[in-house]
Amino acid sequence: MKQIDPEILKRYANGNCTAEEQALVELWLGSEENESVHQDTFAGINKEELKQELWAELKPFSPSKPWYQLPAFAYKLAACLALICSAAYFGIMYISHQQENQPLASVLVYKELFVPKGSRATITLTDGTEISLNADSRLKYPVAFTGNSRIIYLSGEAHFKIAKDPSRPFLIHTNKTNTRILGTVFNLKAYPEENKELLTVEEGKVQFSSKSDPEKQLILTKNQQGTIDAAGILDQKLVYAPAHSGWRTKKLVFNDLTLKEISVLLNREYNMYLEIKNKKLSAKRFTGTYQNSSLNSVARDISLALHCKYQLNNQSLTFY
């Protein structure tokens, strides 16, 4: 259907349309698609002000006969009332999308995927990108990518295999960072409650930058890890990248972590409440690797290494 804009609507309301434009507008007015759009579009808009503005722009109509003898005028009045919503919608959408040089049909519709504690999920986006989500993670992504970029939003941890498309870079927004990719494999850890965000590259090249200061950025390649701390400081180092995505196969890696840091990982992995009653234990460090292990076996090893006791029941784990 040819695009309807506010100028055509005004001409129709004033009776100045061509026959082709009149048929086009009347077809549009009767479409179900038109009705469904208004409900979402008018949230937060002052309809009375809009109504006054639209009526002020329409040419005045002064009938020489009473309105009940003028069925044509009654029809035009009804049409104008319908056009109040129509003109506002197309005025807003037409201007905003002209600025973005995109057609109205390219409006992005987003979905959200949340993975609770103790679970994992895998999703393939419409461009072929494969994403594995760790426990307690949230992904916001478009139903279909449009325009000249591919943009998603992540809170938590995910492993990415980005489908290659040099003409449309892939952009990931988190709480602290922006990540730009053309096609590669990497792991991004960005839990809001943790002080650091970590990006670890397995294949290809990734641009990792601070959201608060985009000039601060790292270019990372295979087996390089970029981090950003609470102060916004970026750093990078060499690592063995596959070790940082072991969670996909239920592999737990504690590399010289404090018990406080480990308790966060165990809570996320097993969805259990954890408590450290002896506060001195919180700063003690532990190193270990586990594959598909029970929480009881992990807790036992930690207690032996740190010379403490633990109590495990169906709902909680306590170290003391």
pLDDT digits (tens, 9 = 90+) for 78-95: 444 444 444 444 443 443
Token readout for 2 is 């040819």
Token readout for 154 is 């992540």
Domain total in the chain: 2
pLDDT number for residue 71:
46
Angle formed at CA 136 by CA 132 and CA 142, multiple of 5 degrees: 55
Longest dimension (CA), the chain: 99
Integer Cα distance of 16 and 22 in angstroms: 9
The answer to whether residue 65 scores a pLDDT higher than 50 is no
Q: What is the CATH number of the domain that holds 142?
A: 2.60.120.1440
| Strand residues in the chain grouped as ranges (E) | 110-115, 121-124, 130-133, 137-142, 150-161, 170-173, 177-181, 185-190, 197-203, 206-210, 217-220, 224-228, 234-238, 251-258, 273-276, 285-291, 310-312, 316-319
State which of 189, 215, 243 marks the end of a domain. Answer: 243
The answer to whether residue 35 scores a pLDDT higher than 70 is no
State the residue range of the domain holding 169.
110-243
The model's confidence at residue 27, banded by pLDDT at 50, 70 and 90, is low
Q: What is the CATH number of the domain that holds 286?
A: 3.55.50.30
Say yes or no: 190 and 132 in one domain.
yes
Q: What mean pLDDT comes out for the span 5-13?
A: 64
pLDDT number for residue 220:
96
Of residues 265, 269, 267, 279, the one with CA closest to residue 319: 279
Say yes or no: 267 and 216 in one domain.
no
Higher-scoring residue by pLDDT: 215, 3: 215
Please give the backbone phi and psi of residue 283, each rounded to the nearest 5 degrees, phi first: -90, -5
Please report whether residue 145 resides in a domain. yes
Please report whether residue 179 resides in a domain. yes
pLDDT digits (tens, 9 = 90+) for 249-264: 999 999 999 999 999 9
The length of the chain, given as a count of residues: 320
Mean pLDDT of the chain: 79
pLDDT digits (tens, 9 = 90+) for 143-193: 999 888 999 999 999 999 999 998 999 999 999 999 999 889 999 999 999
Higher-scoring residue by pLDDT: 53, 273: 273
Alpha helix segments (H runs only) across the chain: 6-14, 19-29, 32-41, 47-57, 71-99, 259-270, 295-306
